[in-house]
Amino acid sequence: MADERLSYQILATKRIIAGFVRAGVAQEVVETFEEEYAKGRDVDWTWVVHPTRSYADASIDELLNLATTEFKATDNKYYPYFIVLIDERTANDGSVLLVQRDPWYPPQWEMRITPRSLATFFSVADIGHTTIEGVLINDKPDDDDLWVHDVPFDFSTENVHENSRQPVGFSKLKVGGEETEWFGAVPASVLVLSGEYEGERKRIA
């Protein structure tokens, strides 16, 4: 990863965070994540998380490398220094893994966080008023591997999704009359809203 950080002016145009769904995570888990994240957006609506099942088996390091290369281009709206992982633990306590690799805050930081807390965290971090490192130092109890930033919500589901690799890249589509873009496989629920669903999940050219 290049050490040079994108300018604030460019980062101000990037308000989409890539949410990578891990292999085996049920669709119900992803939908619940989206519902809970939407509650947090009542406080701050400028940040969005777009889940995708592309790269479901990639390592965290591989995903960070992808984000800090693919997302640094100025012709997309994805933020390059954060990724969200929706994983097996999400099915148990609702939390997701937030990972950061930013030239200003080396080397790499991660923490569990509730979906409803994400939008506020992104906004406060964006203006330099918080960091993952700072939250961990100030809030995380020592030797507590189950700790989550904010209180996790409770729900349970079986991991019944059969993962399949999808074509990857950027897709542009209209949802609710507004143009948006998605990195990786576009969920069927979004394709339905965009009028591009034909009975199976596909990538929009």
Q: What pTM was computed for the model?
A: 0.72
pLDDT at 169: 63
Preceding omega of 107 cis (within 30 degrees of 0): yes
**Domain-located, residue 121:** yes
Considering the domain architecture, whether residues 26 and 61 belong to the same structural domain is answered as yes
Q: Locate 128 and state its tokens.
A: 């330099």
Nearest partner of 37 among 150, 138, 147, 146, judged by Cα: 150
98 occurs within a structural domain: yes
- Give the span between the Cα atoms of 118 and 198, in whole angstroms: 32
Q: What CATH code is carried by the domain that includes residue 76?
A: 3.40.50.800
What's the burial of 112, exposed, middle or buried (CB within 10 Å: 0-12/13-18/19+)? buried
For Cα atoms 45, 181, 89, give the angle at the middle one, nearest 5 degrees: 65
Tens of pLDDT, residue by residue over 175-195, are 667 777 776 666 665 665 555
Q: Is residue 1 part of a domain?
A: no
- Tens of pLDDT, residues 12-27: 889 999 999 999 999 9
Dihedrals φ, ψ of 48, to 5°? Answer: -130, 155
Q: Is residue 3 included in any domain, yes or no?
A: no
Range of the domain at 146: 8-165
Based on the structure, what is the number of domains in the chain? 2
How does DSSP classify residue 125? Answer: H
Tell me: do 116 and 48 sit in the same domain. yes
Q: What 3-state DSSP class applies to 200?
A: coil
Q: Is residue 113 part of a domain?
A: yes
Residues 31 and 72 in one domain: yes
Task: Classify residue 141: in a domain, yes or no.
Answer: yes
